[in-house]
Amino acid sequence: MNRKPLSNFAAIAVLTLIFFTWGGLTSLNDVLIPHLKAVFEMNYARSMLIQSTFFGAYFLMSLPSGAVVARAGYKASIAIGLVVAAVGAALFYPAAALPSYPLFLGALFVLASGLTLLQVAANPYIGLLGDPAGAASRMNLAQALNSLGTTLFPWLIGPLILSTAVLGASEIASMDIAGQLAYRAQQAQSVQVPYLLLGGGLLLLAVFVLAMRLPTLRDASLPAETPHGFAEVLRHRHLRWGVVAIFVYVGAEVAIGSFLINYLSGPTTGGLTEAVASRYLAFYWGGAMVGRFAGAALLQRVDARRLLALFAVAAAVLLATTMSTRDQLAMWSVIAIGLFNSIMFPTIFAIAIERLGPLTSKASSLLVMAIVGGAVVPWVQGWLADRIGIQHAFVVPLACYAFIVWYAVRGSRAAASARGAVSVQPAEPLG
């Protein structure tokens, strides 16, 4: 029996599960960082290799992922991405059994490679599910569900990973070699069960996606074999600067989340235990969720560039506040940044691919490659934090938000008057 494809609304509902899942998996890095930092006795810069490895996969695997999407299509690519991510989650078990920090990083790379494929396939796909004029609103709605995942995963799973107090360096040093090895193994193994469960959930989600009849979509102007190269895509100024804007935005968002538990555990910026501080991640990511739901509605009425500029200014003001204050004000001002991070990624993405027509898929790959900012910016902030402290090192994401303000006001405006801009027509179902 030939069943009809799902409606656009139903397809978006299925995709929200994908956005929810990869958001939650990404936010768990913020729990892993303080945990593995203590287990392996690392400084901030070395512990940020977690984010460098995870987001470095976006840079290295984005173009191969684009090739997979071109050959296999959106639906199959999403399922493949989920299976690859499940394999990465399963690799946490041997990494913790040894325990081995390099193997942890390898598992993260595999996990992130699967999520890269999900990003390359799902972001443009959800933009095609309806009127192009509503793409920014749809992407913000999907990203709101992504933020729901980033809110719930640290809240539910974070305390399992940080369930026992980590001993200080002097206490560990007082043990004999066998005792140190046994202690580190016990601490590292707290991630085994959570990540095995996550891997199983990813496999079930892959089966669910394959069972659904998602619409097969294309740009009406997109030929079967497009001759366009990346050089042609990069001729569009709003796309070039959009790649940089995605780089600095993801870098800023990830850097703040990565340092949040350690920052809120500081004596003058919260004084919380790491387990309690992990629950406050939910407020940071929850703010992004609330902001994205609100943003999806606001973008129906407010110019996307204007709203992006306002939110970036608000984030910069909050960062300046947390850098110059202490105690509760410093704590809540940095947490509140999540609310204003909310619309930035989907709005920048939607603005950057405006009117690119048959160039959209290649532009999407470049924008997903730019997520490597999550690998670079946190490491830079970690290097600086080892020298001047976490609080003052927030100057790094502050500079990132300043660039986003410029992009919203000036850098993206060229798209409206660019010569040779390609007109995009509504996506149509095939067959």
Tens of pLDDT, residues 216-270: 765 443 444 445 567 788 888 899 999 999 999 999 999 999 999 999 988 999 8
427 in a structural domain = no
The enclosing H or E element of 428 equals strand 428-429
pLDDT at 40: 78
354 in a structural domain = yes
56 in a structural domain = yes
Q: What is the pTM of this model?
A: 0.74
Cα dist from 25 to 151, 152, 213, whole Å: 11, 10, 26
167 in a structural domain = yes
Segments forming the whole domain that contains residue 321: 8-215+228-418
pLDDT at 418: 46
CB atoms within 10 A of CB 282: 21
431 in a structural domain = no
121 in a structural domain = yes
CA–CA gap between residue 42 and residue 34 (Å, rounded): 10
pLDDT at 425: 38
Return the DSSP state at 326.
-
CA–CA gap between residue 44 and residue 389 (Å, rounded): 10
Structure confidence by residue, pLDDT tens digits, 375-415: 899 999 999 999 999 999 999 999 999 999 999 999 987 54
222 in a structural domain = no
182 in a structural domain = yes
pLDDT at 224: 42
CB 330 within 8 A of CB 268: yes
Per-residue pLDDT of the chain in tens (431 residues, 90 and over written 9): 456 677 777 888 888 888 888 888 888 888 888 778 877 778 888 888 888 999 899 889 988 988 888 888 888 999 999 999 999 999 998 988 888 889 999 999 999 999 999 988 887 788 777 777 677 777 777 877 887 888 888 888 877 776 655 555 566 667 777 777 777 767 777 788 888 989 999 999 999 888 888 777 654 434 444 455 677 888 888 999 999 999 999 999 999 999 999 999 889 998 888 778 888 888 888 888 888 888 878 888 899 999 999 999 999 999 999 999 999 999 999 999 999 998 999 899 989 988 787 777 778 778 988 989 998 999 999 999 999 999 999 999 999 999 999 999 999 875 444 444 444 333 333 22
Identify the three-state secondary structure at position 217.
strand
pLDDT at 427: 36
Count of domains in the chain?
1
Residue 165 phi/psi, 5-degree rounding, is: -65, 135
pLDDT at 228: 55
CATH number at 93 reads: 1.20.1250.20
Q: Which residues contact 414 (CB under 8 A, 6 or more apart)?
A: 236, 237, 238
pLDDT at 305: 93
Alpha-carbon dihedral 218, 59, 68, 147, rounded to 10 degrees: -60
Identify the three-state secondary structure at position 98.
coil
Nearest to 60 by CA among 122, 117, 17: 117
Query: Where does residue 271 fall: left (phi above 0), alpha (psi -120 to 50 degrees), or beta otherwise?
Result: left
The enclosing H or E element of 218 equals strand 217-218
